A and B are shown apart, each in its own frame.
Chain A
Amino acid sequence: MPHAHLNLNRPTGDEVKTTTCYMCACRCGIRVHLKDGRVRYIDGNPRHPVNQGVICAKGSAGIMQHYSPARLSKPLLRVGERGEGRFREIEWDEALALAAQWLGDIRARNPDELAFFTGRDQSQALTGWWAQQFGTVNYAAHGGFCSVNMAAAGLYTLGGSFWEFGEPDWQDTKYLMLWGVAEDHDSNPIKLGLGQLKARGAKIVAVNPVRTGYGAIADEWVPINPGTDGLLAGALIHELLRCDRVDLDYLVRYTNAHHLVIQAPGEADDGLVACDAEGHPLCAAHARRPGDGRGDEDGSPCDDDYCIVDATAIDIAPRIVGEVTLPDGRRAVPAFQLFAERFMANAYAPDTVAPTCGVPAETIRRLARELADTAFEQAITLEQPWTDAWGREHATMTGRPVAMHAMRGISAHANGFHTCRTLHLLQMLLGAIDTPGSFRYQPPFPKAVPPPNRPGKARKDNGTLDAGPLGFVHTPADLVVDAHGQPRRIDKAFSWQHPFAAHGMLQNVIANAVAGDPYRIDTLFLFMANMGWNSAMNTSATRDMLRARDPASGEYTIPHIIYADAYDSETVAFADLVLPDTTYLERHDCISLLDRPISDADGAGDAIRRPVVPPDADGSGRDVRPFQDVLLELGARLKLPGLVDADGAPLYRDYADYIVRHERAPGVGLLAGWRGEDGGEAGIGAPNPQQLARYVEHDCHWHHAVPAAGRYYKMANRDYLDWAKGLGFIGTTQPIVLQFYAESLQRFRLAAQGHGAQQPPAAERARVARYFDPLPFWYGADDVGASASSSGTPSPPNPPLEGEGSKARPSALGAQSYPLAAITQRPMFMYHAWGSQNRWLRQIATRNYLYLHPDTAAAHGVADEDWIWLASPRGRIRVQARLHTGTAPGTVWTWNAIGKRKGAWKLAADAPENADGFLLNHLIDESLRARDGRAGYANADPVTGQAAWFDLRVRIERDAQPRLTGHRIEMNETPA
Chain B
Amino acid sequence: MTSLPAPTPKKLGLVIDLDTCVGCHACAVACKEWNDGGDFGPLPDADPYGAQPRGVWFNRVHSYAVEPGIGLAPGIGNRESGIAGAKDNASSPRAAASPIPDSPFPIPGLTVHFPRSCLHCETPACVTVCPTGASYKRAEDGIVLVDADKCIGCQLCAWACPYGAREFSVQKGTMQKCTLCVDRIYNETLDEADRQPACVLACPTRARHFGDLGDADSPVSQLVAERGGHALMPEFGYRPVNRYLPPRPRRDASTAQPAAPREETLDREKLPGVLRWLDRVLSR
Contact = CB atoms under 8 A, between A and B. Distances in A.
Interface of A: 1, 3-4, 6-12, 35, 40-44, 46, 51, 53-61, 63, 69, 183, 187-188, 191-192, 194-195, 198-199, 203, 211-217, 219-221, 242-245, 248-249, 251-253, 258, 286, 294, 313-322, 336-337, 340-341, 344, 362-363, 365-366, 369-370, 827-829, 837, 839-847, 851, 854, 864, 882-886, 906-908, 910-912, 915
A41 B22 contact: no
Given A4-B150, A35-B37, A249-B282, 20 more contacts: A6-B39, A6-B182, A8-B183, A40-B37, A54-B201, A55-B204, A60-B26, A194-B20, A211-B65, A212-B76, A244-B277, A286-B281, A317-B281, A320-B277, A336-B277, A840-B29, A840-B33, A844-B25, A844-B81, A908-B47
Interface in B183-210: 183, 186-190, 193-194, 198, 201-207
A3 B284 contact: no
Interface string B27-66: 0111011100111000001011111011101000001010
Contacts of B274: 321, 336-337, 340-341, 344
Contact of A219 (B54, B201, B252, B259): B252
A746 B245 CA distance: 54
Contacts of A69: 49
B284 A886 contact: no
B131 interface: no
Give 8 closest A-B pairs by Cβ, nearest first.
Answer: A191-B204, A216-B111, A220-B252, A195-B205, A828-B24, A839-B48, A908-B50, A57-B25
Given A249-B282, A317-B281, A191 B205 contact: yes
B22 A908 contact: no
B151 to A, nearest CB: 10
A843 B78 CA distance: 9
A212 B39 CA distance: 36
Contacts of B281: 286, 294, 317
A796 B262 CA distance: 37
A58 B78 CA distance: 16
B54 A46 contact: no
A845 B51 contact: no
Contacts of A885: 65, 67, 70, 73-74, 109
B51 A912 contact: yes
Residues of B contacting A: mostly: loop
B112 interface: yes
Given A3-B150, A252-B284, A840-B29, A12 B189 contact: yes
Contact of A886 (B21, B33, B65, B189): B65
Contacts of B30: 43, 55, 57, 60
B111 A840 contact: no
Contacts of B261: 365
Given A57-B24, A217-B20, A843-B53, A7 B186 contact: no
Nearest to B251: A219
A508 to B, nearest CB: 32
A199 B245 CA distance: 12
Contacts of B253: 220, 362-363, 366
Interface in B53-108: 53-55, 57, 63, 65, 67, 70, 73-76, 78, 80-81, 108
B189 A43 contact: no
Given A10-B187, A321-B274, A837-B49, A4 B65 contact: no
Interface residues of B, number: 92
A911 B33 contact: no
A242 B262 CA distance: 10
B126 to A, nearest CB: 15
Interface string B217-254: 00000000000000000000000000000000011110
B140 to A, nearest CB: 11
A192 B278 contact: no
A243 B39 contact: no
B51 A910 contact: yes
Contact of B111 (A55, A211, A366): A211
A9 B189 contact: yes
Interface string B1-29: 00000000000000001011111111011
Given A63-B33, A840-B55, A842-B53, A9 B284 contact: no
Contacts of B136: 3
A60 B256 contact: no
A242 B263 CA distance: 8
Contact of B252 (A221, A321, A341, A841): A221
16 contacts: A10-B183, A41-B37, A43-B202, A54-B201, A54-B203, A60-B26, A183-B24, A188-B204, A195-B207, A216-B110, A220-B251, A243-B265, A321-B275, A827-B78, A829-B24, A843-B54
Contacts of A322: 275, 278
A240 to B, nearest CB: 10
A326 to B, nearest CB: 18
Contact of B113 (A8, A9, A216, A882): A216
Contacts of B215: none
A578 to B, nearest CB: 21
Contacts of B67: 885
B172 interface: no
Interface in B100-144: 108-113, 133, 136
Nearest to A847: B80
B26 A55 contact: yes
A43 B198 contact: yes
A55 to B, nearest CB: 5
B23 A212 contact: yes
Given A216-B112, A369-B259, A912-B51, A244 B265 contact: yes
Contacts of B186: 8-9
Contacts of B276: 244, 321
Interface in B150-173: 150
Contacts of B74: 864, 882-885
B283 A317 contact: yes
B277 to A, nearest CB: 5
Contacts of B277: 244, 248, 320-321, 336, 340
B266 interface: yes
A373 B282 CA distance: 21
B264 interface: yes
A843 B23 CA distance: 15
Given A839-B45, A911-B50, A215 B23 contact: no
B270 interface: no
Given A63-B33, A252-B282, A4 B76 contact: no
A315 B76 CA distance: 57
A531 to B, nearest CB: 24
A248 B20 contact: no
B243 to A, nearest CB: 17
Nearest to A314: B284
Contact of B187 (A8, A59, A183): A8
B183 A6 contact: yes
B189 A11 contact: yes
A442 B159 CA distance: 53
Contacts of B194: 43, 46
A337 B280 CA distance: 13
A963 to B, nearest CB: 15
B167 to A, nearest CB: 12
Contacts of B263: 243
Contact of A57 (B26, B54, B189): B26
A243 B266 CA distance: 9
Contacts of A58: 29
A370 B136 CA distance: 54
A827 B113 CA distance: 13
A560 to B, nearest CB: 32
B204 A8 contact: no
A54 B206 contact: yes
Contacts of A214: 22
Given A54-B201, A315-B284, A828-B24, A9 B187 contact: yes
Contacts of A63: 33
Most buried by A among B33, B147, B193, B278: B33
